[in-house]
Every structure is written in C-alpha cells, then in structure tokens.
Structure 1
C-alpha cells in the first residue's frame, strides 16, 4: 500500500498553436496556459473535482517578463498565477510567480513533492506559457490586443533570480545574451578537442539530426521538419552563422506558442479523487545545483554543477544512466548535451536519444518553461512503458543552474522525505578582474553577428592570471585572420582601452 502522503504526478498537459495554421486563435499567455492546465486536469482522469483541490499553483515566469523593466507587449494580469487558476475555477491558497530559469519547473517538482510528503500540501500545480510567436505576428500587423487582467489578491513573487548570471564585462563587450555566451563555452570545448569550425559544426549537426526526427513527429513542435546533419551544419543564407560556431538552425527557437502544466498530488488525495493508479507516476529523485559564473569557471567548456545534479539524482534513485530508458537533456545549444555525453560516455547515436520533445532548436525553446514539456513527455513515456525510468535534465541561464528529475511508474518511498536535494555550490572559482590590463592570453571566444555588425569577444587571462575579457580588433589583419579562422586559442594579445572603455586586443 502506497502511503497517503507519497507525492505523485497525476496529470500533465500541453497546449500549442502555430501562426497561420488552421484553427489558429492568437491566444494570450494566460489563455494558452489555461488550456494546458485544463488538459492536465483532464489527463488525470479523476472522477472527483480535481480543480477544487489545488492548494498551490506556481506560474513559470514568461521570457518577456524575465528581467527588470521588461514587460509583455500587450500587458498582462496583475496576478499571473491567479489568472491561470481562474481559468479552471481553482482557488489555491498559495500562488507563486517563479524566478527566471529553465531549471525552475523541474526544481519545483522536487519542492512541491517535499511539501506534500511533509503534509503541508495536497495538490500543487506548475504551469507556464509562452506566446512570443503570436506577439511578434500581431505586432507586425500593427495589432495591439489588450491582454491585461484585473485579478487582485496576493501572490508570492520570487523575483527575477538573476544572481550569478549578470556577466557585466562580457555584456559590455557584445556578449549580450545566451547565444554568444554559450558559443564561448562551445568554442572552449572545440579547442580541447582540437577541431576546426567546420568539423565541430558537423558534430553539432550529428548530435541534433535525431532531435529533428523527434520534433517532426511531435504535434506541439514549433518546427516539425526533419533535417540532416549536413543541412544543420552547412552555412547558407538561410542558415547563417549567428555566433561562431552556431548556425541559425542549431540554437534554441524562442518564437513559439507553447504551454505546459504538471499536477502533483498526494496518493491519498489521488485515491479520494478517483485518479486511476495507472495514471500515477512516481518521483524518484529531484536535485538542483548552481554553477559558478561563466567568467569564473576553471574550465570554460565544463558544467560540473549539471553533472553533479544528474549523478546525485541517479544515486538517490538507486539507478545508473544505463537504467534510464528515456532521456531528455536540456538542449538550448549543443554544449549542455555534449557535457552529459562526455561525462557518461554516451554516443551521439545512442538508440535512446537525448530528447523526448525534439529539443529547443526544433520542438521550441518555450522560455523558462521548456522542461515542463519534457516532464509531460517523460510522464507519458513511463505510463506507456510500465516499470521504465525517465530522466529529465533542466538547465537555466548560461549553464548557470541545473535540476534533474527521475520518474517511473514504480513506487518511490518518500517516508524519509529525502528525495529532493539542493547541492552546494563549488568554491573553486577563478579570480576575475574588471580593471584595465595591457595583455591577455585567449582561452575562448566567439564572433557574435547582429544586425548592427559583429563583435569578436574573447575571454582569457591577464598577466596576473586573472580572468578577463575584451574584443578582438578585427580591423587588424593578423588578428582578424586568427579569429575568423577559428584558431585564436592560446594567442597573446596586446590590449588597449578605447573611448568607450572596451578592452581591444590585437595579436602581440
């Protein structure tokens, strides 16, 4: 007999639409999220009133409200979790607006499962929604619907959660978002492998080709098209370089309309509501870890916090990576997947595959909520393959935060309430300096291409061994040749400061 206070996932739901397709409705964030939540309630198969039993609802912060001063273009509710609850006639006592980070929904599974095991909650919901594609399409037509709502009431705003992610020196030199920051890590791995840009792009293509096949079969995918490794790796007008070594097709696709919801309940409540036991999915472990800032990592290519999270989750579940029949490693870019492959010795053509959705470049990068879709898929996979195990790895920031969950229809004993763990942060960060310097040795780089031009951003060590960053002076022919050729690693740069205070480096 499974104890009444055992936390289980009883319902999952997804909702999506693609601009211009039949039945497209241009739904708002809240309306699409509400549909996902309604789908999750239906998915549980309860005979009782499940919505009325929800006591906790956490809304995942949308991308367009993920930093200070950034607001959705057409407004939004004054109480986002309350607006989502209203759409299913739920009245949770506890409402939460999450911080930024793609690991959040996975981490919340562990947090809310712990609350349920302790008797502090009976039914918790996690729901998130992104409609960036619709917002852009409406703006392009000059339309401006009013998505504001007056809900009222109190909710717990957990803030933006940007600690450890504000790489101000890198931002000042043109590495202003996820693409160039991940590209710096990716090129550091390429340097360790001794591969050229074209060779490495082909590696990325080989990794992601199977992802496109999964995405093509997923009805919720933003880009359901199979593509070959060669097509993904080849630079063309349609598949231009966005930041070396990335082509456009191999980076997370944020223009999506996707929502997902997860319902966690106590086994006792599930019985009371008549949720069939074949719908129950057990939470075997959840772990969460925080990484050092990118500029402070001893190995710029590595993400040891993510490895620690996965290893700890496997250990607590009493399983190994070979016992996982289903895997979804967060794939905003290749490097988070490669890091897991490198550590566990997984081949890129592992027959299990590394995505359950199709991955962020092809299924879509649903803002901070992508991994809720992965969890939804994991739940359905293990329901359909009873006794199997699924692992979901969720990543946030610039490989800044990571959370791992392991799921199965096999029961998990929560009597000790020790299946959710937050791991300690490493304390071996490299000293960083923002003081002026006159020389540097390049460790990694990217060339970030934008509508306003290109910036060659390097990161390396000054003469004192501190980590520094700057721009390579592409007006200097020898410097341009080294950086555009993809081989500036280990180069000695002479550095001066320009009128904007940027560190400008030339080959010494």
Structure 2
C-alpha cells in the first residue's frame, strides 16, 4: 500500500539498563542513561546514525522522579535534559520539550509526534526517558557522591511537572503521598465492588502478576530478572513485606532502577531520504489519550471509564477487534490498571498472549514516567519480527488519571485521527460525587489503605457520611480500627469521623 509521504513511522527504538550489582556498574546519570538508549535507537534505524542524529528536529524528554515535583535532585541534574542528551550523540534539534509527570506520557507523545509530522511541523522526532533511582539510592548515604549537574544553553519548552493535577492539600494531608497508597484505595474499591475477601483478592492479584515475572526473567533489560511463583507474590514475609494495603512488595512497581529508553519517529519521506530500510518501519494504527475525573469526584473508585474508553477508541481507530491483537503491554504499576483493561477488552487475566512484553513494572522495573517507552520499544521489535501482526500498548498516568493507548503494526496505513477530545468532554461531564473537607459525624468506609511504610502504622480512609452520602477522607491510628484494617476487612465498617486542625480522624463506632 502506498501511503502519504507525511505518514509517521517509528524507525528506531533503544533500551538500556544498568544494575547496581553489575560488574561494570558505572553509576550513570539520567542524561547518561538516556544517551545510551538514544545511541541504541539511532543504531536500530539501520541507517547512518550520525545522519539521523543530525536530522532530528524535535525532542521530547520524559521527566525523572527527581524533577517530577518540588523536591531537589540530590545528585544534581541538567538544566536542559533533552539538550544534554542530544549533545552526547551529535544532535542539535530546533525544539526540545520536557513533558509533565505521567506514565501515559510515552504513548501520548508518540501520538503528539505523529500529529506534528503529519501536519508538517516536524520531520524527525526523538522521544527519550530515563530513571537513575538505583544510583540515587546507592549514593544517598555515601560521601563520594557524583555531581550530575550540567548547564546547557539553548531553547527548552518546559511544560512543568504538573504533579498537583493529581494531588492537593486535602489528599496529601490524609496520607495520599506515593503511588502504593493511592492505588491501594483503587484496588480495595474494586474488591468492594466485586464482593471479594482480602485473601481471595490478594490471590487474584498474585495470579495476575506472577506470570509477568517469567517474562522479566528472560528480558536482558530487566532490573530484577527473577521468576516468582504465585505463592511468593502473595505470601507476606520479611522479604515480601507489606508496603501499603493491599500490596506486599512484589505487587509494587520497582522504582529504584537505572533504565533508559528512546524511540525515533519520522515521516515516510524523511525515512526514505535517510535510507532507513522499510523493514524497520512500524506504523501507529490506533491511538487514544483520555483523562479521568479527579480522584475523589469519581462515582466508582474501583473503575476507570477513561481507560475503558481509551482502549475501545484505539481499537476503533485501528479498525480491528481485540482478537486481532497479537501482543499486549499493559501498564502494571499495581494490579488495578491491568484488571481495568482486561475487563474493558474482555481479556482473561491468563490470556495465552500474555499481558506484558517487558515483564511488568514490579519485575522488569518501573522507571518513573518512562516505563511505557520500554513497552513501546518491545512492541516495535516484536512487530518487526512478526510482520502484519498488531501490538497494543496501554500507558497509565497519575492516580489512574490519564490513559493512553497505541496499536502498532508493520502494515502500512495512513495517519488516522481519534475522537479523544469528544470522549474527554463526555468523561468530564459524568456525575461527580460531592466531597466534604471537614466531615463531622457518622460515616461508612468506602475504601481504604494502610500505611506500613510510616513510623506508626496508619489507616487511610475514604468514606461516605451517613447524613448525606458525601465523600470524605480521614486517617486513623485508633488501635481497634487499625487492627481491623490490617488483619480483617473494614469495607463497609461504621466509623465516627471528626475534623481536626491536622486533618480528619476516624474511630470505630
């Protein structure tokens, strides 16, 4: 099939992983990790790497954890991450962008880059990401810390971290700091909707995730290439300690990693001009980028309409059905996002096609906002190996706040647009639950988590006031209530909630 010469194609992907226990461990910076992945992506094009690097006119950089909020980068950072990386590989792009926080970012940027190329606003685009969390942790208590500070001149479009799109003073005051406790609320809300017990649900989560570790064990880019059994994943031990209810450690994204990934997109005419072999070209057949309602406004905290619609819309744009998909890489920071997409697509959690190509965030690694760039890299490689098949990538950001889906294949296809804007408007207009900031009186626990990672074990509660059904947040250190939340099942439990100067407190009644 002859396609429009402005049609975007992915022509190069690259990954890099450095482990603390590697014999050649170098303690690389975020810039160094990304540069290694970019170098691999340039070579992967099968064209002249220097010529491709020189032709890159637009670069999108994904934020590391260390620049994803107001906290300082303890080992220093570049003032212009994308340009620091490109200088290492001989590139000098006209435009560089630093993307906001969000794990949906890699897939969202593939769609954005594709639209720029189709519209004639870019010809050759690089997307890059990296995460040096293991190195930051390794040097945290050492005196011989490296200094990763770099000052680079040149244009930078910094879109800001935008972390406060996901959290605010109210949620932070009630313990929603960090992904495990945030997603704990969602998984326990889903468990409530399904009417499952604590042990039954944990077993289902372990059955969902343990097979991913088998993939990670065979992936040379994995941070933890160890196969785990269902029993290992679900059994709480000193090694597999509880982090935040309902998750022991082996159900939590592994964020202390040193990983980098990159992808290169260009127009068909640019690919021909740079002599990129056609067997390297992979097309984006379907895509969708949707935004969920704010966390506490959602009618059902155990569901995600945005993710469901994103998956369906990407398939519609691609003109195929879920049975036509050969591979999946579903964002798996915790079980909840995977369960949601499986339900949306009618996938069995033990579908023989598998749910990940990397090995999943707890085992392959969860390199912050850039994980799904690894999923895209694996998908592109697999599509080249099996021409004509389709691979689906599902990328999740925030507190199940944004979801982006891409469908890839070597089969040529012109660029297609999605209805994401209209669908986002429909999601925003869904009925919202009223939230009360200073509740006082009788209430019922709607969902919960327990913070085992705090000095004092603390219960985190989302509840409804009996008087009017409005939603509230509260914390508790009450011995009886914390015991119920840790060792029993507090869903639907009756509590009394009282406002204080430092947030709301709950006790059993």
Give TM class, smaller chain.
over 0.9
Q: Give per-residue Cα distances to partners, 1:236-295, cap 9 Å, x unaligned.
A: 111111111100111000000000000000000100111000000001122111111221
- 1:392-403 equivalences under 5 Å are 392-403=393-404
Asked if the contact 1:14/1:260 (under 8 Å) is kept, the reply is yes
1:50 aligns with 2:52: yes
Structure 2 match to 1:160: 161
What pairs up with 1:291-302 in 2 under 5 angstroms? 291-302=292-303
Query: How far, CA to CA, are the matches of 1:290 and 1:384 in structure 2?
Result: 33
Displacement, 1:209? 1.1
Paired with 1:344 and 1:3, the residues of 2 have a C-alpha distance of: 31
Kindly provide the CA deviation profile for residues 36-57 of structure 1, in whole angstroms up to 9, marking residues without a partner as x: 0011000000147111110001
Unpaired runs of at least 5, structure 1: none
Residues 332 and 359 in structure 1, CA contact (< 8 A), matched pair in contact too? yes
Alpha-carbon distance, 1:451 to partner:
4.2
Give the drift of 1:473.
4.6
Q: Distance in 1 between matches of 2:179 and 2:482?
A: 24
Mapping for residues 359-378 of structure 1, pairs under 5 Å: 359-378=360-379
**Matching of residues 444-459 of structure 1 within 5 Å:** 444-459=447-462
Say if 1:487 and 1:387 are closer, same or farther in 2 by CA, change over 3 A.
same
**Superposed displacement of residue 81, structure 1:** 1.1
Q: Measure the CA separation in 2 of the matches of 1:53 and 1:283.
A: 21
For 1:108, the equivalent position in structure 2 comes to 109
1:491 to 490, 493, 497: 493
What is the deviation of 1:167?
4.1
Q: Secondary structure at the match of 1:453?
A: coil
Further displaced range: 158-167 or 392-401: 158-167
Following superposition, the deviation at residue 472 of structure 1 comes to 3.5
Summarize deviations over 1:439-489 as a string: whole Å, max 9, x none.
2111111111124121111101122221101123523x3x34532333222
Indicate the residue corresponding to 1:180 in structure 2.
Answer: 181
User: Is residue 439–residue 472 contact of structure 2 (8 Å, CA) maintained in 1?
Assistant: no
The CA distance in 2 between the partners of 1:120 and 1:60, in whole Å, is 20
Given that 1:173 and 1:455 are in contact with CA atoms closer than 8 Å, whether structure 2 keeps it comes out as no
Matched, 1:194 2:204: no
Contact 2:188–2:302 (8 Å) recurs in 1: yes
User: Is the 1:110–1:420 Cα contact (8 Å) retained in structure 2?
Assistant: no
Q: Is the 8 A contact 1:17 1:258 kept in 2?
A: yes
Contact 1:196 / 1:486 at 8 angstroms: preserved in 2? no
- CA deviation map 1:132-152 (0-9, x unaligned): 101211223322211111211
8 Å CA contact 1:111–1:420 kept in 2: the answer is no
Q: Establish whether residue 146 from structure 1 lines up as the match of residue 150 from structure 2.
A: no
How far has the Cα of 1:419 moved from its partner?
4.9
Deviation at 1:75, TM superposition (A): 1.1
Could you tell me how far 1:22 is from its partner in structure 2? 1.8
Tell me, in whole angstroms, the C-alpha distance in 1 between the residues paired with 2:476 and 2:32.
Answer: 47
Deviates more, 1:21-30 or 1:139-148: 139-148
Residue 503 of structure 2 aligns with which residue? 502
Q: Name the structure 1 match of 2:28.
A: 27
In the aligned structure 2, how far is the partner of 1:497 from the partner of 1:7? Answer: 55
Q: Could you list the runs of 5+ residues in structure 2 that have no partner in the other structure?
A: none
Shift in alpha-carbon separation, 1:4–1:112, aligned structure 2, 3 A: same
Q: Secondary structure in 2 aligned to 1:450?
A: coil
Residue 467 of structure 2 is aligned to residue 466 of structure 1: no
Give the equivalent residue in structure 2 for 1:418: 417
TM-score of the two chains, using structure 1 as the length reference: 0.96
Q: TM-score, normalised by structure 2?
A: 0.96
Give distance in 2, aligned partners of 1:63 and 1:481: 33
Q: Deviations over 1:357-397 (max 9, x none)?
A: 00100000001000000000000010000100000000011
Q: Secondary structure at the match of 2:341?
A: helix
Measure the CA separation in 1 of the matches of 2:419 and 2:296: 29
**Pairwise CA RMSD of aligned residues?**
1.5
Q: Does structure 2 conserve the Cα–Cα contact (< 8 Å) formed by 1:391 and 1:404? A: yes
Please list, as runs of the form range in 1=range in 2, the aligned pairs for 1:224-303 lying within 5 A after superposition. Answer: 224-303=225-304
Which range moved further: 129-138 or 225-234?
A: 129-138
Residues 216-238 of structure 1 show CA distances to partners (whole Å, capped at 9, x for unaligned) of 00111111000000110001111
SS at 1:20 equivalent = coil
Distance in structure 2 (CA, Å) of the matches to 1:445 and 1:451:
16
Shift of 1:426: 2.5
How many equivalent pairs are there? 502
User: What's the counterpart of residue 213 of structure 2?
Assistant: 212
